[in-house]
């Protein structure tokens, strides 16, 4: 049905907006803005931004981020304006790298390569402007590996940053190392690194999510599904990590439906995800559909029917309505 498109769509929201810190706004306003944004309450964020008398840089970044998240028609214009206005600001370049990548995920095949190049350019520039920021360095290392081309099999520029991070920050070093091992296809060291991350960073959703994706890259899909599930079931998730956490949950479900790992644990993951949802948008409907598919696979027909009907009551999309009616008819035949 829709499941392959769901796993693709989920990638469009895994953007770590660490740049969105409203240091010059009152703390209560920071919390409210971030909470609304990361819970996909974009209209609420826009209303709150409109009440701010003095638009600080972080407010500008938030406004553009909301536009991209909603896939607005003017999102690229707003992003280009932000970049031009703050051409030597590392935070803006880092944010631009993330947002151009998100726009790439929303775009057709024809535009994707140029958007990846834009994203990489801004990640690299952010690290040039703030060479001691480990988060910026992780993204720059990945960008340099992609830009290095086929003939540079060792990804030397990327490796130099990874080695530097080793002496700076173990957490960010492991993130950069996993990217590097994927780009150089070093499966043996990748599997050892994943094991180490699982042992030492079991409650860090960003590292667990990255490690699970690395396992998936090397076709260790059963192990990847288990690690995604472990990540989804982490209780304490920072606001900025919610998109990554959600992707861990649906990746667990997707792999389980592809006959990898444990479907029952995938159900636990989806139930945990849906318990924490605050909005009933298209993404929420897709989660319900994924949950229903898992219930159907496990022969839990009544739970499957309930989830399908919830999705049907919420959706305005004809394609989802057709999928639901077809699925319900299949349940009636069993």
Residues 6+ apart with CB under 8 A from 274: 284, 287, 288, 291
- The answer to whether residue 32 scores a pLDDT higher than 60 is yes
Amino acid 70: pLDDT = 94
Does residue 193 lie in a domain region? no
Residue 83 reports pLDDT greater than 70: yes
- Higher-pLDDT residue of 135 and 149 is 135
The pLDDT tens digits for 317-328 are: 999 999 999 999
Same domain, yes or no, for 116 and 161? no
Residue 249 confidence (pLDDT): 98
Q: How far apart are CA 205 and CA 48, in angstroms?
A: 29
Cβ-in-10-Å burial (0-12, 13-18, 19+) of 86 comes to middle
> Are residues 140 and 126 both part of a single domain?
no
Residue 31 in domain? yes
| Top-ranked range on mean pLDDT: pick from 11-20, 49-58, 75-84 | 75-84
The boundaries of the domain holding residue 48 are: 1-130
Is pLDDT of 23 > 50?
A: no
* Mean pLDDT confidence for 289-318: 95
What confidence score (pLDDT) does residue 261 get? Answer: 96
| 9 lies in some domain | yes
Say how many domains are in the chain.
3
What is the mean pLDDT of the segment spanning 78-102? 97
Q: How confident is the model at residue 54 (pLDDT cuts 50, 70, 90)?
A: low
Q: Examine the pLDDT at 279 and tell me if it is beyond 90.
A: yes
Q: What is the pLDDT of residue 149?
A: 75
Looking at residue 148, its pLDDT comes to: 84
Is 162 inside a domain boundary?
yes
Q: Is the pLDDT of residue 226 over 50?
A: yes
pLDDT score recorded for residue 11: 47
Q: Nearest Cα to 220, choosing from 199, 182, 191, 189?
A: 191
Residue 80 has pLDDT above 80, yes or no: yes
Q: What CATH number has the domain bearing residue 262?
A: 1.25.40.10
Residues 45 and 155 in one domain: no
Between 137 and 16, name the one with better pLDDT.
137
pLDDT at 151: 73
Whether 228 maps to a domain, the answer reads yes
Q: Is 302 among the domain residues?
A: yes
- Assigned domain for 202 exists: no
User: What is the SS3 assignment for 306?
Assistant: helix
For residue 4, the model assigns a pLDDT of 45
User: Does some domain include residue 258?
Assistant: yes
Do residues 106 and 34 share a domain? yes
Residue 122 pLDDT > 50, yes or no? yes
CATH number for the domain spanning 55: value is: 1.25.40
* Same domain, yes or no: 223 and 168: no
Same domain, 178 and 290: no
Considering 170, 185, 200, which residue would you say is the last residue of a domain? 185
Asked if residue 115 and residue 92 are part of one domain, the reply reads yes
Q: What is the mean pLDDT of residues 102-124?
A: 90
> Do 158 and 259 lie in a common domain?
no
pLDDT for 223 beyond 60: yes
Average the pLDDT over 172-189 and give the result.
96
């Amino acid at each position: 049905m829709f499941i392959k498109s769901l796993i693709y769509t989920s990638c469009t929201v895994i953007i770590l907006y660490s740049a969105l810190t409203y240091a010059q706004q009152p703390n209560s306003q920071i919390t409210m803005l971030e909470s609304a944004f990361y819970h996909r309450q974009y209209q609420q964020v826009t209303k709150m931004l409109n009440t701010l008398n003095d638009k600080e840089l972080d407010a500008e970044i938030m406004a553009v981020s909301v536009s991209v998240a909603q896939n607005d028609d003017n999102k690229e214009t707003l992003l280009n304006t932000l970049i031009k206005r703050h051409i030597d600001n590392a935070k803006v370049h880092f944010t631009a790298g993330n947002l151009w990548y998100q726009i790439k995920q929303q775009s057709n095949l024809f535009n994707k390569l140029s958007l990846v190049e834009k994203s990489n350019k801004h990640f690299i520039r952010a690290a040039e402007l703030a060479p001691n920021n480990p988060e910026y360095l992780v993204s720059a290392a990945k960008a340099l590996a992609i830009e290095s081309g086929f003939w540079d099999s060792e990804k030397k520029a990327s490796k130099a940053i990874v080695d530097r991070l080793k002496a700076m920050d173990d957490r960010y070093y492991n993130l950069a190392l996993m990217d590097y091992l994927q780009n150089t296809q070093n499966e043996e060291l990748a599997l050892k690194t994943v094991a180490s991350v699982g042992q030492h960073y079991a409650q860090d959703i960003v590292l667990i999510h990255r490690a699970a994706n690395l396992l998936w890259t090397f076709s260790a899909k059963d192990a990847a599904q288990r690690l995604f599930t472990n990540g989804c079931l982490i209780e304490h998730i920072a606001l900025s990590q919610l998109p990554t956490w959600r992707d861990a949950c649906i990746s667990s479900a997707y792999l389980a439906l592809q006959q990898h790992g444990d479907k029952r644990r995938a159900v636990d993951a989806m139930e945990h995800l849906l318990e924490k949802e605050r909005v009933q948008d298209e993404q929420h409907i897709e989660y319900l559909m994924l949950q229903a598919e898992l219930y159907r696979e496990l022969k839990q027909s009544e739970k499957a029917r309930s989830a399908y009907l919830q999705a049907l009551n919420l959706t305005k999309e004809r394609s989802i309505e057709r999928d639901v009616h077809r699925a319900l008819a299949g349940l009636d035949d069993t």
